[in-house]
Amino acid sequence: MYYRLNLGFLLVFFAAGLSGCGGTTVAESLPDTAPVSGVVTLNGKPIMSATVTFVPMGATKGVECVGVTDESGKYKLQQIRGAEGAPAGEYRVVINYYLKADGTPIKIDGSEAPANLGADEALPPEYSSFTDSRLTAQVTDAGGEFPFELKVK
């Protein structure tokens, strides 16, 4: 009897978990997005495998939006848990660029910390820190192009 009662409780609990709160998924509750892209250069040259993160500030709704630069420095944003682009609003922009000791960039895929791969952040905190970055962007309902020309001595 005790076994059946617990099994029944678990089945009801599991079914309730599948339906979620209010029947909406995380993706459905996120705000609409607009296409956001750009190019990242370092001392005038495009950088590959840099991670560009738009972090919502103030009243901006939504979650972080992330893109990774290709060999020509181009990136396109995508919400961490949603659609391509970013919602309209104000963002702090954080750009991370990890290099191995031999100067080769590493691709960040989230499976392992860059330090575990023998890489260090190549950009100063004014670009790469989630608390100290001075980079910002104002995304409109139409989205847009946001180039970042970084300079390091």
Residue 114 lies in a domain: yes
Residue 86 lies in a domain: yes
Please give the helix or strand (H or E) that residue 14 lies within, else none: helix 2-19
Residue 110 lies in a domain: yes
**Residue 76, domain CATH:** 2.60.40.10
Residue 26 lies in a domain: no
Residue 21 lies in a domain: no
Question: What domain range is 77 assigned to?
Answer: 31-150
DSSP letter for each residue of 84-149: BSB-SEEEEEEEE-EEETTS-B----SSS-GGGGTEEE-S-HHHH-TTT--EEEEEBTTBEE--EE
Q: What is the model's pTM?
A: 0.78
58 vs 29, more confident = 58
Across-strand partners of 148? 40
The Cα 78–Cα 36 span in angstroms is: 8
- pLDDT single digits (tens) 68-101: 999 999 999 999 877 899 999 999 999 999 998 8
Q: What is the pLDDT of residue 110?
A: 67
Query: How many domains does the structure of the chain reveal?
Result: 1
Q: What's 59's DSSP letter? A: T
